[in-house]
Structure 1
C-alpha cells in the first residue's frame, strides 16, 4: 500500500487551516494561542478520507515568516503540496518562499486552491490565477490544477476534494516504495498522556514499524520499545512509510525527546558534521551564496548551524547549482538522498537547498 502525505503551504491568513477544516471536518489548530489569534503557529495534523477507504495524512503548516522553521519541520515529509492563495490578495511573500522551499525539497505533485473566493469578483479571481501561474512557472506547480474555493460558502470544496483524490492516484502510480528500507521517524511532537506516558508523533519516512518492535532514539542510539501505535486516531499493529503515526514509548521521560530527535532502526543512521550535497540556490533569493557562508541547515525535523564550502567556485547565483560540502557546527543524521534547506544566518531567509 502506498501512503501519501499532503502538506499545506501559503502565506499567512490565506486560509490553509480553514481549507483543512472544510475538507476533513477536523480542526488542525491545536494550541490555545492559535485559536485565540486565528493563525497557525505550529504544525497541525489531520487526515483526508479517500474513496478506497484509506486515509492520507495532512500536515498543516504556519504561513507567517516568523514560523518558517516550524513549516520546514513539517514540509520535509510531504508527498503532495496543497498551496493556498487568497483570491482577494494573490501571491504574497510567504507564498513565494513556500513554493521555493517545496521545489527545493523535491516535491513533484501539487494542487493549488484559490481561497477566499467569496471576497473576490470574477476579474480579481482571473488576476489571482494569472499571478499564481507567473510565480509557479518552472516549478513542480507549473501545471498544477487550480480550484476556486471558499471555506465560508463551501464553494469548490467538493471539487478540491475530487482533485486531490485524482492527484493522489497519480502520486501512487509513480510512487517508489520506501517500505523495504530501515525504519525512520523524525519526531515533530512530544507529549504525555495520563495512563500511557510518553507519546511522540511524526511521519514514517521509510520502513515499517510493528507494535513491540525495538528501535533506537537518536542522537545517542538509546534503545526503546514501542508499546502501541496509532495512525489517524486508531490503534494499529503497524505503521508504514508515508503514514503519520503516534508512538507510545515506555521507559523514557518526555524531556529526553524533542522535535529534531529521530526514532530509527538501531544502527541504521549515523551522525555527521559534514554533508556532501548538490546545492541549489533558490530563485529570487535576496542573498548570494558565497564560499564559507554561515547558514542555518534544516533536515527533516533537525536543524543546525553550518558553513557552506563551494567545491568548484567562489559564489553561487540565484537559480544556479553546484557541488558543495556543508560543515556543521552540530552533527545531523542524514541518509543518502535526503533533501535539505539552507537559510541565511541573519536576517533568516531561505536561500537554497537540495
Structure 2
C-alpha cells in the first residue's frame, strides 16, 4: 500500500508559496475574493499532486502574513513534509523564522527549501542568499535538506522539486495509524443537495462510510454519508490523508474550525491539560506563573493560563512541567503536540507535548504532583497504566478510559493489564474495571486499625 503523505508550505508573506503550489499542481489555492484582490493568502488552501510512480501527495498552502499565523498553525496539523519557501530577492524574513520554529515545535522532521523568484536575481546575489539561508538553518531539522532554486514564472527548478519530493517521501518512515479516528476540522461548508461538509487531515485511526462519529468538544453525534480524498469518492479513510467528509443531519452552524471529528464516544473534553513546555530560545520574555497565552493544538486556538508547576519562572530556552488551564473545552490525547503564542503582541513563544489529557488541578511545587508527571512521562506503558490507576483511587478505571488516557492499542493494553494482574500490581473488577493494589492494601490497613 502506498503511504499517504501531506506536504505543507511555510514561509513569509509574498514569498511565492501559492504560486509554487500552482506551478506544481495547476491548482490555485487562493479561493477567496479578498485573496485575489490583495494578492495574499488569508485562508488555508488545498491541492494535490500525483507523483511519478503513482504516489498521491496532499498539499496544504498556508498564509504567510503575521496576522494569519493561527491559520498557518491549523494547516500545519498532520503534515509529513514541509516546503520552506524563501524568496531569492528578499531572503530570510520574520515569518520565515516563526514558521520554522512552529514546524520544529510540532516535531516535523523532514522537508526541503525552495528559493523562489530565482529569475529575479543574478548568480552572485543568489549565492549570498544561499549562504545566509544555510546559516539560518544550522541546527534545525532542515540543516541538511535539499535547497532548490525555483521560478513559478519560468518553470525553472520545477522538475527538480518533483524529483526531490519523491526522493524525500521514499525516506519518510511510515506514519503510525493510531488507535482513535481523529480529524481536526480546518474547514466547514455546505453543498446544495449534500448538506454539511468538513475537511481536515486525518491524524490518526480510520473511518468508513456509514460509521457514527462525534464532533468534539460539544459531543455532537452524526453519521458519515460520504468521504472524498483528492476529489475522489472513497469508502474509507485513514491517518495521513487530506479528507472531506459529508455529515448526515448536521447544520453548518453546529461545527467550526478547531472542532475535532472522532470515533463515536472515543474522546473526553477538558479545560485542563498537563504538559511539558519548551520556551523558545528566541522568546522575547520569560514566562511567569499564570501567564495568559494563546494555546494551539490541532486546528484550534484557545486562550489559556499557563501554571508553572516546578519553577517560579521559565526563561527562554528552558523547559518545565506546566498545567494549561483553558478558557473553553478542548480534546487532546497524550503525546499530542501544541504551540503557545503570546497574548499580546502575538508571536510564537514555545510549545511541547501533552502528558495527561484528563488531569485534576495541581498545586505548584507539590512533590506528589511532580512525581506523577514524571511517571506519566515514562515511555513504559506499565508505569503509565499504574500511575493512572493510582490517580483514580478506589473508583478505578474502565478499560475504555485507559485506552484513551494511554493512547495504547487494545492488544498492547490487554497484554500490559495481564502482566500487572499476574504480578498482583492491580486488581480487576467485572473484567473491565481495574484498581491499583496499593490502594486496596492501604484501605485494608486502615480498616484493621479501626477494628483493633
Q: TM-score, normalised by structure 2?
A: 0.76
Number of equivalenced pairs: 351
**Partner in structure 1 of residue 368 of structure 2:** none
Counterpart CA distance in 2 for 1:328 and 1:220 is: 15
1:188 to 182, 186, 191: 186
Deviation at 1:309, TM superposition (A): 1.6
The answer on whether the counterparts of 1:287 and 1:344 sit within 8 Å (CA) in structure 2 is: no
How much is the aligned-residue C-alpha RMSD, in angstroms? 1.2
The answer on whether the counterparts of 1:228 and 1:248 sit within 8 Å (CA) in structure 2 is: yes
**Partner in structure 2 of residue 231 of structure 1:** 229
**Partner in structure 1 of residue 248 of structure 2:** 250
1:90 equivalenced with 2:91 (yes/no): yes
Q: 5 Å matches for 1:62-141?
A: 62-141=63-142
The answer on whether the counterparts of 2:118 and 2:151 sit within 8 Å (CA) in structure 1 is: yes
* SS of the residue 1:347 aligns to: coil
**Partner in structure 1 of residue 397 of structure 2:** none
Deviation at 1:337, TM superposition (A): 0.9
What is the CA deviation profile of residues 125-156 of structure 1, one whole-angstrom value per residue up to 9, with x for unaligned ones?
A: 11111221222222111111100101011100
2:351 to 317, 329, 353: 353
Counterpart CA distance in 2 for 1:348 and 1:197 is: 36
The answer on whether the counterparts of 1:19 and 1:151 sit within 8 Å (CA) in structure 2 is: yes
Counterpart CA distance in 1 for 2:203 and 2:283 is: 29
Which runs of 5 or more residues in structure 1 are unaligned? none
Counterpart CA distance in 2 for 1:222 and 1:151 is: 44
Counterpart CA distance in 1 for 2:170 and 2:316 is: 34
What is the CA deviation profile of residues 265-290 of structure 1, one whole-angstrom value per residue up to 9, with x for unaligned ones?
A: 12221112221111111231222222
The answer on whether the counterparts of 2:190 and 2:252 sit within 8 Å (CA) in structure 1 is: yes
The answer on whether the counterparts of 1:282 and 1:352 sit within 8 Å (CA) in structure 2 is: yes
* SS of the residue 2:337 aligns to: coil
Deviation at 1:220, TM superposition (A): 2.4
Counterpart CA distance in 1 for 2:278 and 2:49 is: 33
Counterpart CA distance in 2 for 1:74 and 1:186 is: 10
**Partner in structure 1 of residue 296 of structure 2:** 298
Q: Structure with the greater relative contact order (CA < 8 A, sep ≥ 6): 1 or 2? A: 1
Counterpart CA distance in 1 for 2:131 and 2:317 is: 22
**Partner in structure 2 of residue 341 of structure 1:** 339
Counterpart CA distance in 1 for 2:144 and 2:124 is: 21
1:59 equivalenced with 2:57 (yes/no): no
**Partner in structure 2 of residue 45 of structure 1:** 46
Larger displacement relative to structure 2 (85-94 or 217-226)? 217-226
Deviation at 1:317, TM superposition (A): 2.1
Counterpart CA distance in 1 for 2:107 and 2:24 is: 25
1:177 equivalenced with 2:176 (yes/no): yes
What is the CA deviation profile of residues 187-217 of structure 1, one whole-angstrom value per residue up to 9, with x for unaligned ones?
A: 1101111111111111111111111111111
Counterpart CA distance in 2 for 1:289 and 1:30 is: 39
Counterpart CA distance in 2 for 1:341 and 1:82 is: 20
Q: TM-score, normalised by structure 1?
A: 0.97
The structure with the larger Rg is 2
1:274 equivalenced with 2:255 (yes/no): no
The answer on whether the counterparts of 1:76 and 1:339 sit within 8 Å (CA) in structure 2 is: no
The answer on whether the counterparts of 2:217 and 2:329 sit within 8 Å (CA) in structure 1 is: no
Counterpart CA distance in 2 for 1:144 and 1:323 is: 32
Deviation at 1:315, TM superposition (A): 2.0
What is the CA deviation profile of residues 91-140 of structure 1, one whole-angstrom value per residue up to 9, with x for unaligned ones?
A: 00000000001100110011100110011111111111122122222211
* SS of the residue 1:227 aligns to: strand
* SS of the residue 1:226 aligns to: strand
**Partner in structure 2 of residue 20 of structure 1:** 21
Counterpart CA distance in 2 for 1:5 and 1:319 is: 30
**Partner in structure 2 of residue 315 of structure 1:** 313
**Partner in structure 2 of residue 4 of structure 1:** 5
Counterpart CA distance in 2 for 1:14 and 1:92 is: 10
Larger displacement relative to structure 2 (25-34 or 102-111)? 25-34
The answer on whether the counterparts of 1:201 and 1:244 sit within 8 Å (CA) in structure 2 is: yes
Counterpart CA distance in 1 for 2:289 and 2:111 is: 34
